[in-house]
Amino acid sequence: MPSAQVQTLDHILQSRFSCRGYLPKPIDRETIEAIVRMAQQVPSWCNSQPWMVHLLSAQARDQLSDKLVRAAQTRAGQPDIAFPDRYSGVYKQRRSVCGWQLYDAVGVTKGDRAGSVAQMMENYRFFGAPHVAIISTPKELGTYGAVDCGAFVSAFTLAAQAHGVSSIPQAAVAEMSDEVRCVIGLPQDRDVLCAISFGYQDPDHPANGFRTQRAPLSEVLIDVDGS
């Protein structure tokens, strides 16, 4: 029989999802600080703790949203950290399944280019979340600084879930790094890694009506026998 701790952790992991529709109700500062404090407990290379969290006020959130929407409508993104060259094989398949689950949930049909663009633009409106945090990493720490920050992002989403708060990490926001850097005053020696939009989920929002699946262990767990 799994211990109570195992059951609690499993429940948090199973119940967390990428929330794309929020209620306007704000979260109190004490809860936000508790989430960040819990997320800071993750390991990092040599305990460097490279993450920095810029928490946007409502005014800064709206200012950034306006800049992001305008930029996305006029030019290609310029992320600090290069996006994947491509998705192929099983990775392309998983990405496609997730995308169509979202489109089906919000009523975007195949060939509806306007509908897909409109849904994509919701990234730059933070899906209506009342709170947005920008996560950055030092340039000089390279890939492993980003890996450590990725661990922090995962821990943030789980700590938020434990507090009854929904969230979604957003790489799309990092694609417009110039706009992000301008609003939050990020120095050039740090890279914009992602945003985390968070708040209380809107249970009636159609985008929250589906859940992604995880690959079976046979696809990810590989036994290696010594010779």
The CATH number of whichever domain residue 136 belongs to comes to: 3.40.109.10
- pLDDT of 192-211, one tens digit each? 999 999 999 999 999 999 99
Domain membership of residue 62 as a residue range: 18-85+125-207
- Whether 9 is in a domain gets the answer no
Query: Mean pLDDT, the chain, as a whole number?
Result: 96
Segment 80-91 shows an average pLDDT of: 95
Residue with token string 């399944």: 97
CA 155, CA 181: separation in Å to the nearest integer?
24
CA 194, CA 210: separation in Å to the nearest integer?
23
pLDDT of residue 2: 84
pLDDT of residue 29: 98
CA 199, CA 168: separation in Å to the nearest integer?
10
Domains held by the chain: number: 1
- Whether 223 is in a domain gets the answer no
Reported as a pLDDT band with limits 50, 70 and 90, residue 75 is confident
Count of CB atoms within 10 A of residue 91's CB?
11
CA 24, CA 108: separation in Å to the nearest integer?
25
Q: Which amino acid is at 130?
A: P
Q: Give 31-89 as a DSSP string.
A: HHHHHHHHHTTS--GGG----EEEEEPHHHHHHHHHHHHHHHHHS----SSPPPS---H
Question: Would you say residue 156 has pLDDT above 90?
Answer: yes
CA 38, CA 54: separation in Å to the nearest integer?
16
- pLDDT of 108-132, one tens digit each? 999 999 999 999 999 999 999 999 9
How far apart, in Å, are the Cα atoms of 129 and each of 136, 180, 196?
Answer: 20, 17, 10
Run of H or E including 161: helix 142-162
